[in-house]
A and B are shown apart, each in its own frame.
Chain A
Amino acid sequence: MISFIAKRLAQSLLVMAIVSAVSFSLFNFVGDPVNNMVGQDATREQRLEIRDKLGLDDPIITQYSRFVGNMLKAEFGLSYRIKRPVDDLIAERLPATLELVFVSAVISLFFGIILGIYTGIKRNSWISRVILSTSLAGVSLPTFVIGIGLIYLFAVHLRWLPSSGRSGVVALGWWKTSLITLEGWRSIILPAITLSLFQLTLILRLVRAEMMEVMRTDFIKFARARGLSERAINFRHALRNTLVPVITIIGLNIGGLVAFSVVTETVFQWPGTGLMFIQAVNFVDVPIMAAYLVFVALLFVIINLIVDILYFVVDPRIRLGG
């Protein structure tokens, strides 16, 4: 067990090393950083002073180790565009993204698993077929088209829900939440549904496939032969055996949600990290791009680590495989 986790940890560190190298190289790839910091008419002395201050003339290895050092302290410098510390910006915007991802994850997991089980068990009912074809349509609709459609229908046409932004924000310490006010829930509904649809269909299909696999296995046949009720078979035996893949799904799901939050946040002007990232890419605001990259990688590494450990707990067979 310990060696397994150690191995995974080492792998995670490797990932972070690669990602930090990539984001470090961003600074040097994308133009002269000094040019991006000062105005058009900064003097030569000013430029030299900044070069010196930032140590841009040091050997590349020194610069990299300094970057990693700062990274460990979560310091990424000032945004080129708005001249504020990037770690502050990310910390401010993180709650919005995490809350959106959380609500979307709940929606997609809840409906995805339920519908997946249903369509897995009742393979040939017409309801299953309808659900399946609809889900395929869900995979085929780009997230931004869904978002635009929902805004048009529910915000502009019916005027039921707000079209964009995050309102009803209340500060709980440093965490600004929109989940404890009605206004906040009204504004999160459309983006959360938009974000969850694609993942929902993926989960539905994975769970269905998994259910179908399990239902064919010998021990289910055996359970049938023993005369257990269908209900017991479905829920006590089949479902439990789909647990391992479901854990993977949750991991993948959260990863996918974070990734697509970039698109959803852009469509709904949701003030999270994804919107900030896209704006940073547009303005070639390298400190934000680099920090976001490191932050997302860290998030994924943590998720994967948790998933791996859960695997280990749930499915003893992995212990043999190492």
Chain B
Amino acid sequence: MHLKQLLTASIIALTVASPALAENVLRWTSQGDALTLDPHSQNESPTIAMNGQIYETLVTRDADLILRPELAESWEAGPDGWTFKLRQGVKFHDGADFTAEDVIFSFGRAMHEASDYKEQIKSITSIEAIDDYTVKMVTDGVNPILPNQLTSLFIMDKGWADANNVSVPMNYAANEETFAVRNANGTGPFTLVSRAPDELTVLARNANWWGEGMFPGNIDRIEYRPIANAATRVAALLSGEVDFVLDPPLQDLKRIEATEGLSVKTVAQIRSIFFGMDQGIDKLRTSNVDGNPFKDVRVREAMNLAIDRDAIKRVVMEGLAFPTSMITSPGVLGNTPENDAPVKTDPERAKALLAEAGYPDGFTVRLDCPNDRYNNDEKICQAAVSMYARIGVTVNLDAIPKSQHFPKIQKRETDFYMLGWGVPTLDSHYVFSYLLDSEGSWNAAGYNNARVNEITDAIAVETDGDKRASMIDEAWTQVKADMPYVPIHHQVLAWGLASTVDIPIAADDAFRPRFAVMK
């Protein structure tokens, strides 16, 4: 496998080497720029995407989402933790050597209270260097999925960070910009040339990269320009100003496809879109009825039955969605065809259930919805409003930017909300621990089932694969019966590309420039 990869890479490198006199410049765009270049201060997709070109992690995933070595060459689990063998001869962009000291420093930095990654690695209790190229991470109990949790944990150079006074991610009280916000020194395939946030970021190929020649990518220079407006973004692709749009709106895909010199790539994404209903509080905040209708499982079922997922798929999503009734996509451990099969739409039965539950005239509730996060998020919510009107439930829609929407969920200030959940670890534990465990930090539905809580804890330490899988399945079946959420569909990703570039599309929506080839 390794050899084959190397071989293809060198063949491609050879064939490309001859006409490579002109620079290969990849110009691309997406909706939102990275918030900062500091690799530990924001756990947010565009920020990770930008930093992932400059910085690297110990463990990474390829376009098929299989775990691959990056700065670590191998790793193995022991009784009390994990040991990572580091890649040797790696240099940071400023020439400093990469050693175990940098790993320990970076993990310490990521565990700092101002870091946005401390949740992900909280199972690590201590970390030590065995030698310059071996690191041992001691965990609190066995953590079978620790490597899965490290794929966005970037490694910084300790010397650079100390010299530039950025040893911690962010100092709120200092009230000034830290050096790492606009400067970066990683080990990755591209170095930062210039950055004007929200305007233009230029990266250049790192000739001293350890992976030089091992990957097919032949990009010399990357120019990234965020374009917030969807139509403008597509216009830039149609008029040939950019070669790659990460997030073209679904309704424009036909046009892109039909334009000469452009193409569309799609892939099923590991992200499920759903509505959450707060069943944990005694009285809904935004309803005209006393008490909380969502506490009644019949009402929750009615809310599920009212949604016509096929109509949403065909009309709102242009066919690019997989209707579902679980918050875990195929490809993630725990997804089964039985639990994944969508609920059949039945407004009549929904009405009957509402009447049975004591709401023959329905009730009102506000739906909080982001308008700049998921594919057609606001439009899905609008469609849901009219579907709920059919069963007598009056839904008032409030669609706002994600920056204001997500805090409402985290602070549990919403009765009824849209959320999408991706599973970077490809394991259901990620879903249970955040969304379904009664203590889960994103469980704004207030779902609390003793058995599900128990299983969530158990699968965190269970190492027997079969036993673990059957527990996960049991929990999902329980969740399907309780219906704490209204799952809608799994997203499909679509990228717009000029036919002169080939970039492998991956279900995690990450842009992997080391695989990007320009013809």
Contact = CB atoms under 8 A, between A and B. Distances in A.
A159 interface: yes
B444 to A, nearest CB: 13
B401 A82 contact: no
Given A82-B197, A282-B401, A163 B176 contact: no
Given A92-B196, A151-B235, A162 B172 contact: no
Interface residues of B, number: 37
Contact of B177 (A38, A84, A151): A84
A284 interface: yes
Contacts of A38: 172
A138 interface: no
Contacts of A77: 175
A40 B235 contact: no
A43 B113 contact: yes
A82 B239 CA distance: 30
B225 interface: yes
A40 B406 CA distance: 10
Nearest to A40: B410
Contacts of A37: 172
Q: How large is the interface on A (under 10, 10 to 19, 20 to 34, 35 or more residues)?
A: 35 or more
Interface in B173-207: 173, 175-178, 181-182, 196-200
B232 A267 contact: yes
B331 to A, nearest CB: 30
A177 to B, nearest CB: 14
Interface stretch (A49-57, A108-116, A195-203, A227-235): A49-57
B239 A155 contact: yes
Nearest to A51: B173
Contacts of A85: 176-177
A151 B232 contact: yes
Given A156-B239, A279-B228, A82 B35 contact: yes
B229 interface: yes
A278 B307 CA distance: 35
What does DSSP make chain B's interface, helix, strand, loop or mixed?
loop
Given A78-B177, A82-B35, A271-B196, A165 B229 contact: no
Interface in A24-54: 37-40, 42-43, 46, 49-50, 53-54
B198 A164 contact: no
Among A39, A53, A54, A268, chain B packs the most CB atoms within 10 A around the CB of: A39
A283 interface: yes
Contacts of B473: none
A271 B35 CA distance: 16
A124 B231 CA distance: 43
Contacts of A159: 239-240
A83 interface: yes
B127 interface: no
B170 A83 contact: yes
Given A46-B172, A276-B198, A282-B401, A83 B241 contact: no
Contact of B232 (A39, A82, A83, A269): A269
Nearest to B119: A41
Contacts of A268: 232
Interface string B247-266: 00000000000000000000
Contacts of B239: 155-156, 159, 162-163
B208 interface: no
A264 interface: no
B340 to A, nearest CB: 32
A20 interface: no
Given A151-B232, A155-B235, A83 B181 contact: yes
A40 B411 contact: yes
A43 B177 CA distance: 21
10 contacts: A49-B173, A50-B172, A78-B175, A82-B181, A85-B176, A159-B240, A164-B235, A164-B241, A269-B229, A279-B198
Interface of A: 37-40, 42-43, 46, 49-50, 53-54, 77-78, 81-85, 88, 92-93, 148, 151-152, 155-156, 159, 162-166, 169, 266-269, 271, 275-276, 279, 282-284
